[in-house]
C-alpha cells in the first residue's frame, strides 16, 4: 500500500526563488548527494539522461528504489523498473507550470525521514527538469512543419538514418511511401493559396488517421509527403498507401467560398538491406513518377534494386 502521508494527489510545487527545507538527519553520503545534486543534474539537457542521473543519485541512498516519470503533454513516459509494493507519488509544478508526475516505489515502506529526503531531492530536480522540458520542446518545434504539424525535412533525414539502422540491426522490413498531391498548381491557381494550404492540412489529417502509432510522417516540401513505415513489408505498405489514397479521394472540402476535392499519387519502396537511404528514396520517387504518368490517383510499388 502507499504510505499514508503520500497520495496520488500529492503535489510538489515551487515558487521561483524558494529553497528546499533540510530538516532531516541522514548519513554523510546523503548530505553529499544533496549538496552535489544540483551540479550533477545541470550536466545534461537531454531529459532521459538527466533523469537517469537523478535515479543514480537516489539509488545511492535507496538501492531498491525505482521511479516512474510521466508527462503526457510532452509524450514522455519513463519507467526505470517494475513497480514495487510501496509508492510515493508526486505531481511536479513550478510557478503553476506542470512539469510531470513522478512516482517512487520500493519493496519496503517509506519512512517519514525517507519522504523528507526524497522531497528535498525533488525540490532540486524541478529546475533542471523544467530546463530539459523547454529544451525538448524547442527541439521538437525545430523539427515540425508549421502548416501541417508533421515532421519537416530535417526530421525526416534524422529519422531515416535511425530507422534504417534499426531495420538492418534487427533484420526487419522498412518501407518508404512518397506522396504527391495531383495537380496542386491548379488548386492554387483556381482557388488561391489559402485553399492550397487547406489541401495540405487535409492530407496531413488523412495520413494521421490512417497510420499506426509506430509509423512516421513528414512533409518533405511543397506538396510532397514521406512516410516511414517500420516493420512493414512492401505489400503491407501498399495496403496502407491505398487506404490513404482512397480516404483523400472521397473528401469534398469547403473553404468558406468554394467546394473542392483532390487526389494523390503514391510511390512505395521497401528497403533492401544493402542500400542506403537515398537509394530507397530514389526508388520510391521513380515509382511515384510512374504513378503520375499512369494517370495519377494511383499507387505504384518500386521494383527491387
| CATH code, domain carrying 38 | 3.30.450.40
CB 234 within 8 A of CB 268: yes
- CB distance 155 to 124 below 8 Å: no
Q: Are residues 99 and 218 in the same domain?
A: no
The residues annotated with a catalytic role in the active site are: 223
107 and 217 in a single domain? The answer is no
* Domain final residue, candidates 142, 165, 184: 142
* Domain at 275, CATH number: 3.30.70.270
Domain boundary among 82, 107, 142: 142
Same domain, 123 and 22: yes
5 within a domain of the structure (yes/no): no
- Indicate whether 173 and 56 sit together in one domain: no
pLDDT at 28: 46
Q: Are residues 107 and 215 in the same domain?
A: no
Q: Looking at 142, 171, 198, which one is the last position of a domain?
A: 142
Distance, in Å, from the CA atom of 90 to the CA atom of 6, rounded to the nearest integer, reads 8
pLDDT at 11: 55
Total domains present in the chain: 2
Tell me the HSE value of 298 on the side-chain side, using a 13 A CA sphere: 12
Q: Do 16 and 133 belong together in one domain? A: yes
Give domain status of residue 63, yes or no. yes
Whether 18 is covered by a domain: the verdict is: yes
Structural domain span for residue 94: 11-142
Tens digits of per-residue pLDDT, 29-55?
A: 677 887 888 899 999 999 999 999 999
Query: Is the domain of 129 the same as that of 99?
Result: yes
Q: What angle do CA 48, 23, 119 make, to 5 degrees?
A: 25
Pair (124, 180) in one structural domain: no
Same domain, 204 and 165: yes
Task: List, in sequence order, every residue forming a beta bridge with 179; answer none if it has no partner.
Answer: 225, 266
Are residues 263 and 125 both part of a single domain? no
Q: Which three cell numbers stand for residue 253?
A: 472540402
Is residue 126 domain-shared with residue 174, that is, in the same domain?
A: no
Q: Is residue 148 part of a domain?
A: no
Q: Collect the ranges in the chain with pLDDT lower than 70.
A: 1-29, 81-84, 253-258
Model pLDDT, residue 163: 95
Same domain assignment for residues 183 and 100? no
- Quick one: pLDDT at residue 7? 33
Amino acid at each position: 500500500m502507499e504510505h499514508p502521508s503520500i497520495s496520488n494527489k500529492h503535489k510538489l510545487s515551487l515558487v521561483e526563488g524558494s529553497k528546499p527545507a533540510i530538516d532531516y538527519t541522514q548519513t554523510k553520503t546523503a548530505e553529499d548527494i544533496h549538496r552535489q545534486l544540483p551540479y550533477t543534474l545541470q550536466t545534461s539537457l537531454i531529459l532521459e539522461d538527466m533523469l537517469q542521473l537523478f535515479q543514480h543519485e537516489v539509488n545511492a541512498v535507496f538501492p531498491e528504489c525505482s521511479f516512474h516519470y510521466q508527462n503526457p503533454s510532452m509524450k514522455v513516459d519513463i519507467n526505470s523498473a517494475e513497480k514495487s509494493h510501496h509508492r510515493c507519488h508526486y505531481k511536479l509544478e513550478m510557478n503553476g507550470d506542470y512539469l510531470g508526475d513522478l512516482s517512487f516505489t520500493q519493496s519496503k515502506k517509506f519512512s517519514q525521514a525517507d519522504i523528507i529526503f526524497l522531497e528535498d531531492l525533488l525540490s532540486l530536480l524541478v529546475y533542471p527538469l523544467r530546463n530539459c522540458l523547454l529544451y525538448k520542446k524547442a527541439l521538437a518545434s525545430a523539427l515540425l512543419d508549421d502548416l501541417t504539424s508533421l515532421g519537416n525535412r530535417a526530421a525526416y533525414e534524422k529519422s531515416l538514418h535511425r530507422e534504417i539502422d534499426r531495420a538492418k540491426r534487427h533484420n526487419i522490413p522498412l518501407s518508404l511511401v512518397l506522396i504527391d498531391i495531383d495537380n496542386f498548381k491548379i488548386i492554387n491557381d483556381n482557388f488561391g493559396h489559402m485553399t492550397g494550404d487547406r489541401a495540405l492540412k487535409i492530407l496531413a489529417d488523412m495520413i494521421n488517421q490512417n497510420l499506426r502509432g509506430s509509423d512516421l510522417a513528414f512533409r518533405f516540401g511543397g506538396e510532397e509527403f514521406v512516410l516511414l513505415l517500420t516493420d512493414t513489408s512492401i505489400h503491407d505498405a501498399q495496403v496502407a498507401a491505398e487506404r490513404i489514397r482512397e480516404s483523400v479521394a472521397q473528401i469534398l472540402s469547403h473553404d468558406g467560398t468554394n467546394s473542392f476535392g483532390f487526389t494523390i499519387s503514391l510511390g512505395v519502396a521497401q528497403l533492401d538491406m544493402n542500400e542506403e537511404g537515398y537509394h530507397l528514396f530514389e526508388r520510391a520517387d521513380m515509382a511515384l513518377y510512374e504513378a503520375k504518368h499512369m494517370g495519377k490517383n494511383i499507387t505504384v510499388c518500386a521494383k527491387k534494386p
